[in-house]
Structure 1
Amino acid sequence: MLGVLLSLAAALGFGGSAVLARVGLQYVSPVTGTLVSLLVGIVITTTLALVLHFDEIWALTAIAFGWFLLVGVLNYPLGRLLNFNSVSKIGVARATPVVGASPLFAAALAVTIGGETMTWTIFVGTLAIVGGIALIVSQK
C-alpha cells in the first residue's frame, strides 16, 4: 500500500511540475528552464542523499553506478529538456498525457531488461493507460 501511495504522490508531483514548468516557460526558453530545474534538483537531491544514505552511496558497485549514471543522463537532462520543449510547443494538457505513455515503455523494458514478469493485470492496465492517452491526444 505504501508503494501505491508513493506512486500517487510522485504522479501529483510530476503533474504539478508540468503546470509550473508551463508557467515558467512563458518567460524563458526550455533550455534555460531545464538548466534551472536541474541545478535546484541537484542541490536538493545531493544534500538529501548524502545526509540520509551516505554509506549506501559509497558502497555502490561499478555496475550499479553505471546504471544510475545512464538513468541520470536519460531521465533528467534529456527527458526534462524534451518534456519542457513539448510543454512549450503544445501545452501541458496535450504534452503530459503523451509523456504519460511511459508505462508502456517501462513495462516492456521491465520484462526485457529487468527480468520482471508481465501478468495479465499489468498488461491490461498498461494498455488501458495508453488507450486513455490516445483518446486524450486525439481529441481536438
Structure 2
Amino acid sequence: MNATDSLLLPLADAGRLNGLSNGALGARYRFWRDADGVRHVFSVYPADQAPDYPDAIALVTRRTPAGPIAMWAGRPGADARRMAERLDAEEIHIHVFGDAPAPALRGLIRDRAPIERATPRPADSAASLGLLIARRAAA
C-alpha cells in the first residue's frame, strides 16, 4: 500500500502524465489505478469549479505532500462539490466514460447512497481494501 492509496476506495494514485509533469498541463491531469490494476486518466479541477458530466465518475480528493488521496467517488456535479466541501477537499478529479467504461470504475458509482448518507459501510470498505491489497501482492 502506498502513501496515496485511498483507505475507503479501491483506487491508487498513479501519478501525472509522463512528459507533462513539469509543464502547465501536468497539473490538469492525473492517473488513477483501479482495483483491477488498470490506469485511467482523470481531469483535475478545483473543488468548487468541477463541471457536471452526464456519464462520468468524480473523485473528491485531498492533496498531501505525497500526492492526492481519493476520499469519495460518485457522479460529478452538485453532490461531488458538496462532498468536497464536507470533506474539506481541494480537488475533484473527473473521468468521462468512453464507449466501454471500466467495470471497476462503473462499480464505484453504482448504487451510491444519497449524499446525506455517503459514508461507506465498514464491511464494504474492508472487503474492497482487502481485494486491492491481494491483487497488488499478486502482481
TM-score by length of 2: 0.28
Higher share in strand: 2
**TM score, norm. by length of structure 1:** 0.28
Tell me which structure has the larger Cα radius of gyration: 1
